[in-house]
Structure 1
């Protein structure tokens, strides 16, 4: 903990207390600050998934299991399959297909309507057209023989963020050239820990929020989302040697390849990119009657160079988040 500032560590431990029919959540933040920017990476996929389910409920003629493809692409899929892949293996292409269905303006408006802030979603993930403001139409199958397009929509371009630590490091690679200046994140997605926690709480504990602040999900849609959030890669047929149980569960499990005990369930969406590891996880132990939320982010980029793939994920970041989760778990065991 002596060098916390070097790692830009932020975390929020949320204690969950159940009393009769009510749930009381108590947040314990450590250095969590909305004004101190970190790159959220794949954690934004939690928003994509929840709002896709909500929009499907309000779109006539299609549902979770409707087949579709993105115009100009050959991959045919369903909304359900893409949501499952988002959580099981953090599939960027699956996220981006759903992003075309939603669009930046729709996402940001829906979050604002639910009083979820601060947040700004501005781009797709790991694709050359990440910041394209015109979405690509989806071609959906209304039945086996009838298809129809959805979209496109034209969205507002992002305005640069003005936040602490919005530029990071001392240099970065772009097109194989090393540029001797800090990396600028001002046009990128912004999803601080407090907002990630707001989204997770609305999914797990919707009853704590006014109806207009909740995600508008039917009972089956919410059950599907929670199931997806806790799906392990092997449950979708992925090779456990490449996609081990803790692959997408940084807190408690990210630093080992052991099988996660069946009594431990994690409902989360983690993300890693630009040397930043983040997880927002609701963890349940059915055997010991334990539940808590841990939201944390850490930057591991010792040399200060971005896009060089020299990040200390395996040696510092994942071991820290794994042990952090286990220490909180021990604390919860003592509380019982």
Structure 2
């Protein structure tokens, strides 16, 4: 027994035995980039655990055939460290909805992402949706919901796609593709129990008064909640009362940062990821995604967001531009999905500069809740979150512009036509 203890101690001392602390990954490159800019990141660097920061920066080099080669760098990355993913969960909702349409087309060939999708109600707290005045037809559809998700991060649009996919399929399909640190458990911005979120609405796809496909109400009998509880903060507001105990995130959505960037890579570079991690998408689907993931509100016809003065270019682009209301230069395009809720602020992006031949991926989350109280509407997005993500994007961009590339990338694949050309 004593010999075993000695051997075990030697292994631990040598750092060869996996311990909990080793789960967090930090690379020197990212750490140095932050430390070289103390005027931008000083408070975060002094106490990064307080801000729950995680970053993944992925360099992209091209070979002579323009094939991408990736190298990722991490800062405090821990795939098991929970953060609330907010609206970033809408990205897989779009992908799985498009995939489901493609699979249904084998039996219902008239079905497309633009076919009007009418949602009915059949269970407690469910609501129906049979109109959408912001679309060209005045009717909702998978494609129009997807546009609203990428352009203004519509919660209702996510909820309708969640209902179309169904909770079991949402989770099982992602897990089968290898996104195992992800859980989709609830709709957004509606108060529902876990049981009510397991139940999803009946849906009909109708064209010219004819039903092309009808999906009955569904209920997910499987459980996707984690084995152990997840609690954060010092308290939370319930109605007008402060409850002085940690807030329970156990039955909330989860979407690890690594899964987020891997999923983005599967969409932007499907040929460069294993087949099992890809989504069943058509060429038209990819063009649609590249357009609306990078299109700005002022460039959009339906919905007509150009008339909304509260929507700036940076409304959905936190990296590089999230701390200002100016126009994003035309040579820079950001293909991304942002999120912000419960004090967590996130962006998951593929960023290109067509003029300079620059491309890279960047994903990050920061916790902006200095008082530790949830649901009090006192989050530090403006003072901490937006400046951090904007500065991080600019610092990484400046570094990536200057680094030597073996080949200049051919980025024409990502040059798309927008609704309104500026």
TM-score by length of 1: 0.95
Larger Rg: 2
Q: Which residue of 2 aligns with 1:42?
A: 87
1:166-224 Cα offsets, whole Å, 9 max, x none, are: 31111101223221110010111110100101100100111112323211111111111
Q: Which residue of 2 aligns with 1:215?
A: 279
What is the DSSP-based 3-state SS (H/G/I as helix, E as strand, rest coil) of the residue aligned with 2:254?
coil
> Does 2:191 match 1:128?
yes
1:233 to 294, 297, 301: 297
Indicate if the aligned counterparts of 1:35 and 1:163 stay in contact, CA closer than 8 A. no
**1:119 Cα deviation after fit:** 1.1
Q: Which residue of 1 aligns with 2:399?
A: 331
> Does 2:318 match 1:250?
yes
C-alpha distance in 2 between matches for 1:168 and 1:63: 42
> Does 2:106 match 1:57?
no
- 5+ residue gaps, structure 1, are none
What is the DSSP-based 3-state SS (H/G/I as helix, E as strand, rest coil) of the residue aligned with 2:70?
strand
Indicate if the aligned counterparts of 2:185 and 2:224 stay in contact, CA closer than 8 A. no
Q: Are the structure 2 counterparts of residues 314 and 158 from structure 1 closer, same or farther at C-alpha, using a change threshold of 3 Å?
A: farther
C-alpha distance in 2 between matches for 1:184 and 1:161: 12
1:221-251 Cα offsets, whole Å, 9 max, x none, are: 1111121211212223214521100101111
1:274-322 Cα offsets, whole Å, 9 max, x none, are: 0000111000000110000110000000011100000010111000100
Q: Which residue of 2 aligns with 1:153?
A: 218
**Structure 2 matches for 1:12-27, cutoff 5 A?**
12-21=56-65, 22-27=67-72
**1:88 Cα deviation after fit:** 0.2
What is the DSSP-based 3-state SS (H/G/I as helix, E as strand, rest coil) of the residue aligned with 1:77?
coil
Q: Which residue of 2 aligns with 1:11?
A: 55
Q: Which residue of 2 aligns with 1:94?
A: 157
Indicate if the aligned counterparts of 1:114 and 1:214 stay in contact, CA closer than 8 A. yes
> Does 2:173 match 1:83?
no
C-alpha distance in 1 between matches for 2:216 and 2:188: 20
Q: Which residue of 2 aligns with 1:111?
A: 174
**1:157 Cα deviation after fit:** 5.7
C-alpha distance in 1 between matches for 2:228 and 2:69: 32
TM-score by length of 2: 0.76
1:73 to 112, 129, 153: 129
Q: Which residue of 2 aligns with 1:140?
A: 205
C-alpha distance in 2 between matches for 1:187 and 1:47: 19
What is the DSSP-based 3-state SS (H/G/I as helix, E as strand, rest coil) of the residue aligned with 1:250?
coil
**1:151 Cα deviation after fit:** 2.5
Q: Are the structure 2 counterparts of residues 157 and 128 from structure 1 closer, same or farther at C-alpha, using a change threshold of 3 Å?
A: farther
C-alpha distance in 1 between matches for 2:228 and 2:257: 14
1:194 to 258, 264, 269: 258
What is the DSSP-based 3-state SS (H/G/I as helix, E as strand, rest coil) of the residue aligned with 2:365?
strand
What is the DSSP-based 3-state SS (H/G/I as helix, E as strand, rest coil) of the residue aligned with 2:319?
helix
Q: Which residue of 2 aligns with 1:182?
A: 246
- 5+ residue gaps, structure 2, are 1-44, 121-127, 132-138, 405-422
Indicate if the aligned counterparts of 1:124 and 1:130 stay in contact, CA closer than 8 A. no
